[in-house]
Chain A
Amino acid sequence: AQTVTQSQPEMSVQEAETVTLSCTYDTSESDYYLFWYKQPPSRQMILVIRQEAYKQQNATENRFSVNFQKAAKSFSLKISDSQLGDAAMYFCAYRSALRDDKIIFGKGTRLHILP
């Protein structure tokens, strides 16, 4: 069974600085997708960034980028120029590309932005 592990329950970063959230996963599949979702206090789960496992190039969305290490099964999220609006729970997630399957979420990392 696939698992997703986020080892940092909470992190803090100064506004305008850079922060990296860690995620590791376990799977025997070769084709899958990885995601980072943001959940602010408003509760809605918002997709931040997506990575296809077959692509070696790391995904980037504006201030958000990932470091995808397939062999190490590592998928970290880097947030540059942190803003107060980035404060939220961040979930790393996995989904198989081979089966009609569920998204598997990690337990989340709560990110605090210090003004």
Chain B
Amino acid sequence: DAGVTQSPTHLIKTRGQQVTLRCSPISGHKSVSWYQQVLGQGPQFIFQYYEKEERGRGNFPDRFSARQFPNYSSELNVNALLLGDSALYLCASSFGLAGGQPQHFGDGTRLSIL
């Protein structure tokens, strides 16, 4: 079975631009979460979606938005990019929301802002 897939793998943008990152969860998984991992740090939670509804939001500005589609895939959008948005963006999927549900991570999208 395919794991969590993210696209693109790498992305280079300039300040002020907008970016869309995509995530396809493991088949049968209904929950998708997004994390930002700045170099040398642990991942920080951005959003969680379940059954197309936002179920959690981390401490990120409104420039960050996301959505989940009927097939449970998800997109993360970031507007008005800043240099500080340079990071690895990780997507994780799980079957449900329970805390013990294992979250399976994708390989991430490396976003570089020039």
Binding site for B on A (CB under 8 A): 4, 32-33, 37, 42-47, 50, 52, 91, 93, 95-108
Contacts and interface: CB of A to CB of B under 8 A. Distances in A.
Contact of B42 (A43, A46, A52, A107): A107
A42 B108 CA distance: 10
B41 A96 contact: no
A97 B98 contact: yes
Contacts of A4: 42
Contact of B45 (A44, A98, A102): A102
A97 B43 contact: no
Interface in B5-61: 33, 35, 40-45, 48, 50, 55-56, 58
Nearest to A108: B42
A108 B44 CA distance: 12
A91 B42 contact: yes
Contacts of A102: 33, 45, 48, 56, 58
11 contacts: A4-B42, A43-B108, A44-B106, A47-B102, A47-B103, A91-B43, A95-B99, A96-B99, A103-B45, A105-B43, A105-B44
